Amino acid sequence: MRKVIIGSIALLTVGNIFSQGFDTVPAKSIFIGTEALNYFITYNDSLIYAYQDQIVLLDLNTFKETRLRVKSSKAQDFNTYILKFKLLSNGDVALINNEPYLTIWNPVKNSKIELPFNIEYNKNEKNNLFISQLEIIEDLDISNTAKFIFTKKHITKLFLNFIPIEDHYEYTILSYPEFKKLITLKEINFENAVFSPDDNFLIFKNTKYIEDSNKFYGLTLYDLNKQKEYNLLPNTTVIDFDTTKSAKLLVASTEETGTKIIDLKSLNEISTLPISGYVKFSPLENLLIVEGNRSINIFDIKNKELIATYLGSNSSLSPSQTYMAYALSKNFASLSREILIINRENNEQKRINLKEDYFVEDIQFSKNENFLIIMLSGKDGYKIEIYKKSP
């Protein structure tokens, strides 16, 4: 049965049942300013976030901090800052800064493995009598199982050391820890590349340009084991895609043909939903969330049914999928002053009122569902609000 929940109306009717829902009390507020990344990750009973060249592990029970500076010894006075960080399948965290420098951090032991990439190593010059070549690694990524390193290299050739004769990018996949060159790709969007959770595929969206329409189309999967490319969804513009953590399913939402669910083993389409938007699988992988301009739609994957629609944005399901939190706003790109938390089993609700209007960057429940963490951005930069569930 489909449920439609209109946040602004529902809030007027639940005043007597707030105490039965996900009641919260403010636990901690963290101001991290403008020089920060607009996302965080939950890690066991902790929170990990980044600002400037610092990565911070915050214990949610004690609020004790563990910090690490992400900067190579070769950087010296170079102004470094973290570009991205990601949780690897073994529980380590990969950290990449703007040198780019890559280190793998174990937050529990507070130990790290430094890879050779740094501001000095990344630059390579080759010269002969007439032709000089400059190679600079401009960006890096590491796969989820730390099996592969992905590099973006800018290559420039000069005649007589000042006349440009060639300028292009080279994208290389290296084995780790051997650093053996496995695959070289050209003409891709590095920033759009995503490794599947099991590292079987490297996935790109909108890689094929059709001149007549002046648009990019398609979804490309590169099989890293077979070294074979698969072009899915031709002549369609992909809005967003996601994979299940088990690497069994892929979902891609398109402008032209709705949302497609694809079996990652056979690469066959198993379902089509007549709606488009930003997509993500639920923690238990039995639900699919499709967010439109101002609606959050939840589909049952097995039954291919729309089971609920909420009016809001930036949704997050708790690990057990009992609770759902989202921002009440006109659309996903507008300011918000309220967060709604819903018990999906009985539709009981709780509201969090923010002190002023903010853009909601991210909402997540802790692994044990005792905390709700919200990242906000406003005129003074980013801040994180942590709320603890009342007994």
- Tens digits of per-residue pLDDT, 169-183? 999 999 999 999 999
Phi-psi region of 33 (alpha: psi -120 to 50; beta: other; left: phi over 0): left
pLDDT of residue 21: 67
Residue 220 is assigned to a structural domain of this protein: no
Total of domains in the chain: 1
Peptide bond preceding 100 in cis form (omega within 30 of 0): yes
Residue 185 is assigned to a structural domain of this protein: no
Residue 374 is assigned to a structural domain of this protein: yes
Q: Which string of b and e fits 266-291 if b means at least 16 CB within 10 Å?
A: eeeeebebebbbbbbbbbeeebbbbb
Residue 160 is assigned to a structural domain of this protein: no
User: Helix (H, G, I), strand (E, B), or coil: what is residue 349?
Assistant: strand
Residues forming a β-bridge with 120:
none
Q: What is the rounded distance in angstroms from the CA atom of residue 54 to the CA atom of residue 308?
A: 40
Tell me, what DSSP letter sits at residue 10? Answer: H
Q: Which string of b and e fits 339-362 if b means at least 16 CB within 10 Å?
A: bbbbbbeeebbbbbebeeebbbbb
Please say whether the beta carbons of 114 and 121 come within 8 A. no
Mean pLDDT of 70-78: 96
Q: What is the DSSP track for 51-85?
A: ETTEEEEEETTT--EEEEE---TTTTTS---EEEE
List pLDDT tens digits, range 293-342: 889 999 999 999 999 999 999 999 999 999 999 999 887 789 999 999 99
pLDDT of residue 129: 82
Residue 24 is assigned to a structural domain of this protein: yes
pLDDT of residue 333: 82
Task: Copy the structure tokens of residue 22.
Answer: 């996900």
Q: What is the rounded distance in angstroms from the CA atom of residue 211 to the CA atom of residue 83?
A: 33
Residue 105's nearest CA partner among 64, 58, 39, 57 is 57
pLDDT of residue 19: 34
Mean pLDDT of 119-143: 94
Tell whether the model's pLDDT for residue 216 goes beyond 90: no
Beta strand 305-311 with 3-5 is parallel
Residue 118's nearest CA partner among 103, 98, 136, 100 is 100
Residue 205 is assigned to a structural domain of this protein: no
SS in 3 state form for 135-158? EEEEEEEECCCCCEEEEEEEEEEE
pLDDT of residue 261: 98
Tell whether the model's pLDDT for residue 141 goes beyond 80: yes
Q: What is the rounded distance in angstroms from the CA atom of residue 44 to the CA atom of residue 142?
A: 22
Task: Copy the structure tokens of residue 295.
Answer: 């609606």
Task: Copy the structure tokens of residue 13.
Answer: 């009717």
- Structural domain boundaries enclosing 329: 1-33+312-390
Please say whether the beta carbons of 94 and 112 come within 8 A. no
Q: Which residue has the higher pLDDT, 191 or 324?
A: 324
Q: Which residue has the higher pLDDT, 372 or 217?
A: 372
Tell whether the model's pLDDT for residue 6 goes beyond 50: no
Please say whether the beta carbons of 51 and 373 come within 8 A. no
pLDDT of residue 391: 81
Mean pLDDT of 352-367: 96
Residue 232 is assigned to a structural domain of this protein: no
Q: Where do the DSSP E strands lie in 211-348?
A: 215-223, 228-232, 238-243, 249-254, 259-263, 269-273, 278-281, 287-291, 295-300, 305-311, 313-317, 323-328, 336-343
pLDDT of residue 10: 34
Residue 273 is assigned to a structural domain of this protein: no
Q: What is the rounded distance in angstroms from the CA atom of residue 137 to the CA atom of residue 110?
A: 28
Lowest mean pLDDT among 21-25, 108-112, 262-266, 360-364: 21-25
Percent of the chain whose predicted confidence (pLDDT) is above 90: 83
Residue 91's H or E segment, with its range, is none
